[in-house]
Amino acid sequence: MARAADRARLDAPRGRTGMRTRPAQPSRDRFGRFTEWVARAMGTPAFLLLLTLFCAAWLAWNTLTPPELRFDSATNGFTALTLMLSLQASYAAPLILLAQNRQDDRDRVQIEQDRQRAERNLADTEYLAREIVALRLALTELSSEVMTKETLRQELKALLEQVDGRADGSPAAP
């Protein structure tokens, strides 16, 4: 008995109150756009210039300032700077790879669309070629009935004479 009631409930559509809602999840596309932005930004001359200036300022500060103001020692080979650059590289590489993967996916879709478009163009071209051949064959079969320029001129002259005859008030020839 309970199963029949369950079936009835499953057959009936649920209202909005019965629907479960998913909690909002961060957009994968937003993160993808972020990775592309990072990859584009790291490939610019401005980024390289800023990174060079940052490293030069770091080295100058830790070399030229009084020892009590220095935070990264030259005797240790600027360990903090090395760690920061390693951390930056360890995050940059995967972000760049993610951006490349997204670009590969877009390229794959574009290639598939191009292939489909080329197939349609080929099919259309073949269809048109078949139609042209069919028209040529039909013309060769009807070559005796094909109107030439001279025949057309004679027909038009005859029609003009009929029209002129009607304009003069004379009865039209059948």
Per residue in 127-170, pLDDT (tens digit) is: 999 999 999 888 777 766 666 788 889 889 999 999 888 777 66
**How high is the mean pLDDT of the chain?**
83
Residue 74 in 3-state DSSP?
coil
Q: Is residue 37 part of a domain?
A: yes
The verdict on residue 40 lying in a domain is yes
Query: Has residue 105 been placed in a domain?
Result: yes
- Residue 77 inside a domain? The answer is yes
Query: By percentage, how much of the chain surpasses pLDDT 70?
Result: 77
CB burial class (10 A; 0-12, 13-18, 19+) of residue 98? middle
Cα dist from 86 to 90, 92, 132, whole Å: 6, 10, 68
Residue range 50-55: mean pLDDT, rounded: 94
Is residue 12 assigned to a domain?
A: no
In a domain, 55, yes or no: yes
> Considering its fold, how many domains does the chain have in total?
1
Residue 60 domain boundaries: 28-114
Q: How confident is the model at residue 18 (pLDDT cuts 50, 70, 90)?
A: low
- Contact in structure between 54 and 62 (CB atoms under 8 Å): no
Is the predicted pLDDT of residue 3 greater than 70, yes or no? no
Whether residue 50 is predicted with pLDDT greater than 90 in this model: the reply is yes
Residue 4 has pLDDT above 80, yes or no: no
Per the model's pLDDT, the better-predicted residue between 22 and 37 turns out to be: 37
- Is 107 part of any domain? yes
Residue entry with tokens 């099919």: 123
State the pTM of this model.
0.50
Q: Does position 101 have pLDDT exceeding 60, yes or no?
A: yes
Q: Say what the pLDDT of residue 21 is.
A: 59
Token pair 């191009």 is found at 114
The answer to whether position 93 is within a domain reads yes
Across the range 91-99, mean pLDDT stands at 90
* Residue of higher predicted confidence among 16 and 136: 136
Query: In whole angstroms, what is the distance from residue 174 CA to residue 171 CA?
Result: 9
